[in-house]
Structure formats: C-alpha cells, structure tokens
Amino acid sequence: MAKYGTGSEEFIYTGDCVMVTGPNLSFMGGTGNPKVRFISRMPATFGMVDTLIGEAVAKKNWATIGMLSEESKKNSASYRSYEREVSIGGSIYRAAVIHSDFYDKRKKKSIDKKIAKDFEAAKAIKKKLAGITYYCIKDAKVAVEKVKLPKYHKLNIDIEEKKIYKKGRPKDGQKEISETRYNLTCNIIADDKLIENLKEEAGCFVMISNVNKDKYSAADILRIYKEQHGIEKNFGFLKDPLIVNDLFLKKTERIEALGFILVISLLIWRLTERCMRSYIKEKEITITGWDKKPTKRPTTFMMTTKFCSVHTLKKGNTRWLSRKITNVQKEYLDALGLSEEIFYTVVE
C-alpha cells in the first residue's frame, strides 16, 4: 500500500478478542508509543472487564453514540459509551465500555432465569423463617442478623410477638400471660435498582485500543470494529456446503489459485454494489428493489435477478437483444454507468 501513498502508520488492525493477549499487547504497544495501532474487544478472561462494566453502570456517565446502522430500522441498536484508561503490563490503553440497548434474546432469557432463581431463594428463606418459633426476642434478633439475603430481592423482616395465656378464668377481666414466643414474618420486595443494573450490564462489552483519542472517539472505535463483521460476512458463501463439498483440489497451488479467483470475484461483486449505492446517494434517488419496492441500498444479487429475462441473439458477427430493456433494467444500468450495448457489443 506504500506505493499508493499509504504509510504503515495509517493502518488500524481490527481483530476479535482472541487477539488481546499479554504478549500481543506488549508487541503492539500502548497509547503513548504504539508500534501497531489496533482496535479489539477485551475478552472476559481479563478480570477488569466486569469491573469496568460495573463502574460504567454505577456512574451512569454515558456518552451518547446513537445508531450506527446506515438505515433507520425499528430494531437497530442504539449505543452509548463510557471510557477511561487502563494499565496492562506497564502500558496504558484506552478502554471503552459500550452499551447496546438491544441485547439478544438469549441474554434476556438468562437474566429472567437468574432473577426467577433469586426469587425462589427468597421464598425458601421466607418459608424457613416462618417455621421457627423463638423463646426470647434476643434469639429472634440474632436469627434476623444471620439471614443470608438473596442478591436481587429484599426481605423486610419483622419480629412478631405471640402471647400464650394461662388456662382458667381471667382475673380482673384480663387473661394471665403464661409465656411469650416470637416468630419472624417477612415480605419479599424486588430490588429494582439492582435488577435494572443487571439488565444494563448484560448489554455491555469492553473495547480496547491504542489509537489516538483526539483523532478517534469511542464512537469511531466502535464503528471501525463493527466494520470487520461487514468484511467477514462477505466470505460466508465459502462456508456454504454447496460450495465447499464440490471442491476437489489436491495441489496447494490449485487451491491458492481458486482462492485468488474467489477473492477477485468477491471484489467485483462488492464493487458493483458500491457503485450502485454511490450513484443513488449522489443523485438522491431510489431504485426498484425486491417486490417492486423502492430502495436506496440495492445488492448485487438483487441486480442479477433483474436481468434474468435478457437474451442475446447472434447471427454471424451480429448480436442483438431478443426484447427491449425494461425501465427497471435501465435503472440498474444507469446506476452502473452502463448501457444496453454491453449485451451485444463485442470488445476486442
């Protein structure tokens, strides 16, 4: 890339949390003197991850990032961040706690299960306390102090006095008290603040980086990190059994050659998509998408389906189309800067 005027200092390496290890961090360097600039997600194996998330949720000092999706969708996540420096192996790094208001159903189910389990533990404590009678108030108070409270529910415990009267007729209109016993009664109240913090923590993860804070904000770090998913998903077709199961290559050089062809094909595929979207954005128009609905984000696959009806006829050296180009097809050709001549003009 240096041939095109891009120096090594312009690169930011983005990786999954597997990249974040002690030796790798030491090799890449901290924010003061980075040898290799990087952005990654801090793995949960670092004990400070839970500490950072707990600190961010407790302080509530979030900086709003908003939605990063290019399209405004109902289910698009909205982000916010809490950032501070951390020291690892003697070097300083940027740690940004990112909170998403849209955590997946699995996490929500796990949280609900944890709260339900905590409530069942509270009910078990309540039942156990209700079944014990104390002969003096001191013992009852000691029992209250020894109660192991659940994490997400409070127990309002009261000492209830129970008088046992002597048999026989009352004297002076009042029954004589034989003994006094004490029972514990309690009400279970959900700790809404702790539960809310638990749900908030579930939507958090920690980013780590050594890039310049003045040049790249926490929002920029998150945006760059999320771009790797956009790159990786392009290779999803290679994992399709329909593709992989049909590859019968033994020699290394043939496998490499096929890989090169696939990457070039993917590059053309994505370049086609980029050209169409850039044209639409520049002209501030829409194009006919699926089900004849207008769209600003056409895909290459969408485009290919629009030309299934195109047939080229040939007689000698002459070629022509069997039918006229439709308006929808012309929209896509215009977006690509092409004309219908590409179907019947031979380029020598």
Mean predicted lDDT score pLDDT of the chain = 86
Contacts of residue 11, Cβ cutoff 8 Å, sequence gap at least 6: 1, 37
Query: Position 108: which residue type?
Result: K
Is residue 148 assigned to a domain? yes
Is residue 241 assigned to a domain? no
Is residue 238 assigned to a domain? no
pLDDT of 230: 65
Domain region containing 307:
247-343
Residues 183 and 332 in one domain: no
Residue range 210-222: average pLDDT?
90
Is residue 264 assigned to a domain? yes
pLDDT of 2: 63
pLDDT of 134: 85
Residue range 318-334: average pLDDT?
92
On the question of pLDDT at 190 being above 60, the answer is: yes
pLDDT tens, residue by residue, 122-166: 999 888 888 888 888 888 888 888 888 888 898 888 888 888 777
Q: Are 99 and 219 in contact (CB under 8 A)?
A: no
Is residue 307 assigned to a domain? yes
Residues 96 and 22 in one domain: yes
Is residue 134 assigned to a domain? yes
Number of domains in the chain: 3
Residues 71 and 120 in one domain: no
Which residue intervals of 192-346 are DSSP H helices? 192-202, 218-232, 241-244, 252-283, 300-305, 327-335
pLDDT of 348: 63
Residues 252 and 336 in one domain: yes
Q: Are 98 and 79 in contact (CB under 8 A)?
A: yes
pLDDT tens, residue by residue, 272-315: 999 999 999 999 999 999 999 999 999 999 999 999 989 999 99
Rg (CA), the chain: 34
Is residue 239 assigned to a domain? no
Residues 71 and 220 in one domain: yes
pLDDT of 177: 75
Is residue 242 assigned to a domain? no
319 forms bridges with which residues in the sheet? 314
Residues 50 and 84 in one domain: yes
On the question of pLDDT at 260 being above 90, the answer is: no
pTM: 0.64
pLDDT of 336: 94
> What's the CA gap between 33 and 92, in Å, rounded?
10
